């Protein structure tokens, strides 16, 4: 098998004295979709930030696309990022797109930064808009003039413009309405790139993730194929998580089990 696109080995991250991630080990193979699930403050977003070089690792190592990025300097990071191997999609596209720049300008930024000519970049942007089901007319508009669902698809297109091998998505559908959630998930499912899909909501990840890793209080407590994790969760936290996700079936039967697990975890 080829080398994993992302190899996280025994990674720890601390903010000052506070340890946010502790001994996390995780591989992502090319083309694979991995869900990272955890509650607010569990450290799941810190994992993403570490992979992007936005926070330094205090221990362990990170390999992205065959390069050991753990000890990269600022300059090395900048050069590495310009290759566009890893891209990132934020939760809220209204805040992740510059309100003063047209959609076209936002879309092509990753290419312009690399020194690609504007005309070539715009041509590529037009081509990508089709893939995220958007009209090329949108290119001249400002982010404030299009809908939330369109904005998030613009953000996805922006992430794809460098043909990345790994796309990290942080709650990419949480801010969208039902129709756009389905649409964005559909688009994501078609991608060839490996996806690291971060969410607090197992429900939004379950449909497209091949594997789900659960982070609880800074530690990776379970990392298994999605179906296994949902049908036979092992760790107490995962069990509580699975029984807490609202589903269309009435869940009153799970009530006793939930109460038991809550007592267990808070002990």
Binding region for other proteins (CB under 8 A)? 39-40, 52, 54, 77-84, 86-88, 90, 92, 95-101, 106, 109-110, 113-114, 142-144, 158, 162, 177-179, 181-182, 185, 200-204, 206-208, 226-227, 230-231, 240-252, 255, 258-259, 262, 266
Q: Which is nearer to other proteins, 113 or 123 (CB)?
A: 113
Alpha carbon of 17 to those of 4, 58, 240: distances in Å? Answer: 32, 11, 30
**Residue 173 CB, nearest distance to other proteins (Å)?**
9
Comparing CB distances to other proteins, the nearer of 9 and 257 is 257
**CA-CA-CA-CA torsion for 188, 193, 197, 203, nearest 10 degrees?**
40
What is the nearest approach in angstroms of other proteins to the Cβ of residue 78?
5
Beta strands in 121-172 (DSSP E): 166-170
Q: What angle do CA 138, 204, 148 make, to 5 degrees?
A: 25
Compute the least distance from the CB of residue 263 to other proteins, in Å: 11
List of residues 6+ apart from 142 with CB closer than 8 A: 99, 100, 101, 102, 103
Pick 25 or 182: Cβ nearer other proteins: 182
- Closest approach of other proteins to the CB of residue 129, in Å: 18
Calculate the alpha carbon distances from 128 to 132, 159, 212 in Å: 7, 10, 28
């Amino acid at each position: 098998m080829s080398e994993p696109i992302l190899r996280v080995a025994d990674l720890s991250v601390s903010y000052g004295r506070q340890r946010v991630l502790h001994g996390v080990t995780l591989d992502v193979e090319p083309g694979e979709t991995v869900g990272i699930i955890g509650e607010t403050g569990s450290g799941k977003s810190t994992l993403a930030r570490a992979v992007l070089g936005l926070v330094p690792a205090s221990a362990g190592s990170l390999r992205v696309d065959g390069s050991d990025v753990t000890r990269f300097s600022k300059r090395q990071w900048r050069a590495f990022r310009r290759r566009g191997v890893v891209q990132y999609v934020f939760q809220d596209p209204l805040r992740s797109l510059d309100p003063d720049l047209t959609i076209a300008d936002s879309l092509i930024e990753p290419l312009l930064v690399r020194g690609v000519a504007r005309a070539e970049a715009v041509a590529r942007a037009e081509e990508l808009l089709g893939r995220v089901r958007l009209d090329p007319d949108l290119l001249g508009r400002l982010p404030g003039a299009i809908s939330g669902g369109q904005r998030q698809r613009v953000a996805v297109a922006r992430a794809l413009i460098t043909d990345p091998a790994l796309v990290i998505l942080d709650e990419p559908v949480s801010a969208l309405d039902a129709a756009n959630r389905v649409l964005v998930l559909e688009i994501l499912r078609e991608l060839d790139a490996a996806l690291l899909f971060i969410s607090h909501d197992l429900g939004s990840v379950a449909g497209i993730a091949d594997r789900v890793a659960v982070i609880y209080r800074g530690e990776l407590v379970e990392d298994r194929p999605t179906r296994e994790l949902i049908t036979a969760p092992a760790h107490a936290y995962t069990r509580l998580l699975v029984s807490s996700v609202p589903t269309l079936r009435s869940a009153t039967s799970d009530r006793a089990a939930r109460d038991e697990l809550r007592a267990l975890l808070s002990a």
